[in-house]
Amino acid sequence: MAYTCRDFINKNMKNKVVIISGASSGIGKALAEEFSKRGSKVVMAARNFDKLEEIATILKQNNKNVLTVKTDVSKEDQCKRLVEKTIESFGQIDILINNAGISMRAIFEELDLKVIRDLMNVNFWGTVYCTKYALPYLLKSHGSVVGVSSIGGYKGLPGRTGYSASKFAIHGFLEVLRIENLKKNLHVMIACPGFTSSNIRNTALGKDGNQQGESPRDESKMMSAEKVANYIANAIKKRKRSLILTGQGKMTVFLNKFIPSYLDKIVYKHMAKEPGSPFK
Give catalytic residues, as residue numbers.
163
Residues 6+ apart with CB under 8 A from 146: 95, 96, 97, 98, 99, 188, 189, 190, 191, 232, 236
Residues 6+ apart with CB under 8 A from 108: 161
Nearest alpha-carbon partner for 197 in 177, 218, 169, 175: 218
The number of beta carbons lying within 10 Å of the beta carbon of residue 173 is 18
Nearest alpha-carbon partner for 19 in 52, 41, 51: 41
Cross-strand bridge partners of residue 144: 95, 187
Nearest alpha-carbon partner for 239 in 175, 146, 133: 146
Calculate ∠ Cα 87-91-96, nearest 5°. Answer: 60
101 vs 125: CA distance, rounded Å: 10
For helices 5-13 and 225-237, the axis angle rounded to 10 degrees is 70
Contact 194, 247 (CB under 8 A): no
39 vs 17: CA distance, rounded Å: 10
Instruction: Tell me which amino acid residue 72 is.
Output: D
For 250, the enclosing helix (H) or strand (E) is helix 247-258
